[in-house]
Amino acid sequence: MNKNIITAVLGVCCAVTAAGRTEAEIDSCVNDLLGRMTLAEKVGQLNQRSGFGYADEMVGLVRSGGVGSILNETDPETVNKLQRDAVEKSRLGIPLVFARDVVHGFKTIFPIPLGQAASFNPALVEEGARIAADEASSVGIRWTFSPMVDVSRDPRWGRIAESFGEDTYLSSVLGVAMVKGYQGDDLTKPNTMAACAKHFAGYGASESGRDYNTTWIPEIQLRETYLPPFKAASDAGAATFMCSFNDINGIPSSGNRHLLRDILRDEWGFDGMVVSDWGSLDQMIPHGFSRDRRHAAMQGVNAGVDMDMESYAYCAHLEDLVSKGEVSEAAVDSLVANVLRLKYRLGLFENPYVDIKTSKRFYADASLDAARRAVEESAILLKNNGALPIDNSKVRKIAVVGPMADARHDQVGTWVFDFEKERSVTPLDALKDMYGEKNIIYAPGLEYSRQNDTKGFAAAVKAAREADLVLCFGGEEAVLSGEAHCRVDLTLPGAQSALLRELKATGKPVVLVVQAGRSLALADDAALADATVFCFHGGTMTGPALANLLSGEVNFSGRCPVSFPRMSGQVPIYYNRKNTGRPAADMTLINDIPLEAGQTSTGCTSYYLDAGDGALFPFGYGLSYTTFAYSDPVISSSEIAPDGSLTVSCTVSNTGSREGSDVAQLYVRDHIGSLVRPVRELRGFEKVTLKPGESRVVTFTLRPDDLAFYNTPTTRVVEPGEFSVWISPDSQSGNPAKFNVVDQPSVAANN
């Protein structure tokens, strides 16, 4: 059949506008197309290659239908040229889908996802993703490998930066917000991107926080802790999933039929597309799961990996596997159908090209404004002895010190392939702007975060002596977190703590502002500082946002999305732990133990002799320039049936003298379970903004789903018994209300 006839046939099939096409119509287009494809063309659709410009090899591959998706090509002219080769010069004219890791912004960089999580503000997260989609799609990127919804409880793991932190519920809510932001309400609009929930699954549990490491996750824990954010993303319509690098209980995710078929397809009904991680089919060989690449290709197809990202396993072996009857063509067809469905859903058959006239929509004022607000809502005030906000009546000269004060490259964090350094506005820029250049004495002390050489200390100390206030910007360079960038020691790297000690010795008030890609163990540094601010790498607008917060123009409202350890050895650490049979009590710490004390002298409870128990700054915690009070929670009923609901309310009041926002957090505890339940679990949150003296009643509804848990891998139950419920400003404080789940609620209790 010649090309014109095929185009005419496809044209009939695709005559309706993409937005108007029903799923049934998409299926019929997909089947029609599948019926016309050779095996080689089918395998081509499953092949994803990294771009290398308009090179002969790539052009040949595209024209022969040998590639279905290209990642990392960001020049809109090249995108259009390659797309033209696919649409106009390949036999069937199937468009390519161009992909990229747009993780926290494309050009306008937002805070790393862990920072965005600190905002506890899904609307803000959605807005950031919308802006990222608009910018990236303007060069032809219609598929991003984001959100990463791996629950992460170990800050040694560098990829905690890309996550929404330690909590399953928060990760679910924010993952959904990101999916909505990228995909919008109509994925066929050319300014949207298909989302990709990654890395399916359990990657955040990499043993000992070392990247790519093995995981052992009992099925019940998998379903309780790690899978819900993925299920939420699937329910929210995430167009694609990516499987993870790690093995779970011995089976690498790329060959994990149970995960990719039993759970994702059969239980959840996901009908989108699954991509491997980079080279992850191939990596089943060193894992010790595949004999060779051919075996890996077969295992990938059987498990349900639709697209092979850069393993070259499908393109090298699938045709042969089918011809020898080791893989059925029907199995290949089902993978190809998922790829084609994605392309129809994106409207690529109708709108394959970038509109060059409106291309490169970057750095709109509104986008920069949103990026600034995102940092303002993400930065956490961890400690304040009154040094903040900067008091203009006392502070004339400010010493700006530390390696992160003017770190245009490092303040943006990990996964920013497209950022432009000169666009970063640093704290130094913004403070000069705000306070006047002559009032800022800049002496970094250390040029970069890992530096051990102290030759710059003398100038920093001199600056501190001449100033009324010291702002010390410390933290981690961008390269110290992210993929394959794990750390064992979670303290400030290099000589930063020593610098802080020297600054403190000047007697001047010292504010420590940390910018990092993970939670750090800051006990000694925070004890020294008069105020401590934590800002996960904030992106392009870090400087103006921090200046607004430090000066008091804007109030802090960020809350810890992870528990901050006192010492590195406490990790993994998370608030929703089990109580143990011997919860910490009457702790005797290492320096208080008498010499030659007996084995049982410290009380035999669950704590560390050197770090005690619990986090330095717990999940959900964060200060403000005002204060808030919470009334005890009021519940609508003290007894409910297992399928019943109740409401919980409390009054939040601003008891200070400034307007501010607090995050009211709803926690539950199931006291006695057939399997032991965590001490608290987040089930809702609301950011409340109150003027001084103002109060507001916040109300949450607790539904059966909020009380249920898996007591076997296949049964999720609400068990009768006593529950506590809190509405509190963090995961540790507040008084609970109690209620009972009973098989037969008494009439009185329901009234």
Catalytic amino acids? 277
Q: Which of 110, 169, 200, 278 binds ligand BGC (CB under 6 A)?
A: 278
> What are the phi and psi torsion angles at 638 (to 5°)?
-95, -5
In the three-class reduction of DSSP (H, G, I as helix; E, B as strand; rest coil), residue 45 is classed as: helix
Is 475:515 a contact under the CB 8 Å cutoff? yes
What's the CA gap between 305 and 284, in Å, rounded?
13
Size of the site for ligand BGC (CB under 6 A): 6
Measured from the CB atom, the residue of 145 and 685 that comes closer to ligand BGC is 145
Cβ 73 to ligand BGC, closest distance in Å? 13
Nearest to 621 by CA among 381, 363, 314, 343: 381
Q: Which residue is nearest to ligand BGC (CB)?
A: 145
Measured from the CB atom, the residue of 71 and 516 that comes closer to ligand BGC is 71
Judged by CB under 6 A, does residue 145 bind ligand BGC?
yes
Ranges of beta strands (E only) in 366-439 are 380-384, 398-401
Measured from the CB atom, the residue of 226 and 435 that comes closer to ligand BGC is 226
The neighbouring-strand residues paired with 695 are 653
Measured from the CB atom, the residue of 194 and 648 that comes closer to ligand BGC is 194
Measured from the CB atom, the residue of 110 and 278 that comes closer to ligand BGC is 278
Contacts of 65 (CB under 8 A, 6+ apart): 40, 41, 44, 45, 86, 90, 91, 92, 94
* Interior angle at CA 272, CA 86 and CA 60, nearest 5: 20
Burial class (CB in 10 A: 0-12, 13-18, 19+), 333: middle
Cβ 70 to ligand BGC, closest distance in Å? 12
Cβ 481 to ligand BGC, closest distance in Å? 14
Measured from the CB atom, the residue of 158 and 427 that comes closer to ligand BGC is 158
Cβ 72 to ligand BGC, closest distance in Å? 7
Is 105:364 a contact under the CB 8 Å cutoff? no
The separation between CA 440 and the C-alpha centre of its own chain, rounded to angstroms, equals 35
Measured from the CB atom, the residue of 478 and 737 that comes closer to ligand BGC is 478
What's the CA gap between 110 and 542, in Å, rounded?
9
Measured from the CB atom, the residue of 101 and 126 that comes closer to ligand BGC is 101
Q: Which DSSP symbol is given to 677?
A: P
Cβ 646 to ligand BGC, closest distance in Å? 41
> What are the phi and psi torsion angles at 578 (to 5°)?
-85, 160
What's the CA gap between 242 and 260, in Å, rounded?
10
- How many secondary structure helices (H) and strands (E) does the chain include? 23, 27
Q: Which of 126, 150, 277, 476 binds ligand BGC (CB under 6 A)?
A: 277
Joined together, the tokens standing for residue 478 give 């961008």
Cβ 281 to ligand BGC, closest distance in Å? 13
Judged by CB under 6 A, does residue 211 bind ligand BGC?
no
Cβ 122 to ligand BGC, closest distance in Å? 22
Joined together, the tokens standing for residue 164 give 């929404």
The answer for 475, left when phi > 0, alpha when psi is -120 to 50, beta otherwise, is left
CB atoms within 10 A of CB 271: 14
Nearest to 485 by CA among 507, 443, 518: 518
Rg of the Cα atoms in the chain: 27
What's the CA gap between 564 and 535, in Å, rounded?
13
Joined together, the tokens standing for residue 372 give 């600034």
What's the CA gap between 505 and 526, in Å, rounded?
15
What's the CA gap between 728 and 652, in Å, rounded?
9
Judged by CB under 6 A, does residue 485 bind ligand BGC?
no
Measured from the CB atom, the residue of 101 and 282 that comes closer to ligand BGC is 101
Cβ 101 to ligand BGC, closest distance in Å? 5
What's the CA gap between 678 and 270, in Å, rounded?
30
Cβ 286 to ligand BGC, closest distance in Å? 15
Joined together, the tokens standing for residue 619 give 């999940």
Cβ 145 to ligand BGC, closest distance in Å? 3
Cβ 276 to ligand BGC, closest distance in Å? 9
> What are the phi and psi torsion angles at 328 (to 5°)?
-85, 150
The neighbouring-strand residues paired with 670 are 723
Joined together, the tokens standing for residue 431 give 């403070």
Measured from the CB atom, the residue of 287 and 677 that comes closer to ligand BGC is 287
Measured from the CB atom, the residue of 48 and 367 that comes closer to ligand BGC is 48
Per-position x/- string for 679-698, each x denoting binding to ligand BGC as judged by CB under 6 A, each - no binding:
--------------------
Q: Which of 101, 135, 308, 406 binds ligand BGC (CB under 6 A)?
A: 101
Judged by CB under 6 A, does residue 429 bind ligand BGC?
no
The neighbouring-strand residues paired with 647 are 701
Measured from the CB atom, the residue of 307 and 407 that comes closer to ligand BGC is 307
Cβ 586 to ligand BGC, closest distance in Å? 45
Span between the terminal Cα atoms of the chain, in Å: 74
The separation between CA 653 and the C-alpha centre of its own chain, rounded to angstroms, equals 31
Is 596:611 a contact under the CB 8 Å cutoff? no
What DSSP string runs through 597-635?
--TTTT-S-B-BTTTBSS-SB-TT--B-SS-EEEPPPEE
Per-position x/- string for 302-341, each x denoting binding to ligand BGC as judged by CB under 6 A, each - no binding:
----------------------------------------
Judged by CB under 6 A, does residue 198 bind ligand BGC?
yes
Q: Which of 75, 483, 502, 524 binds ligand BGC (CB under 6 A)?
A: 483
Is 352:512 a contact under the CB 8 Å cutoff? no
CB atoms within 10 A of CB 113: 32
Binding site for ligand BGC (CB under 6 A): 101, 145, 198, 277-278, 483
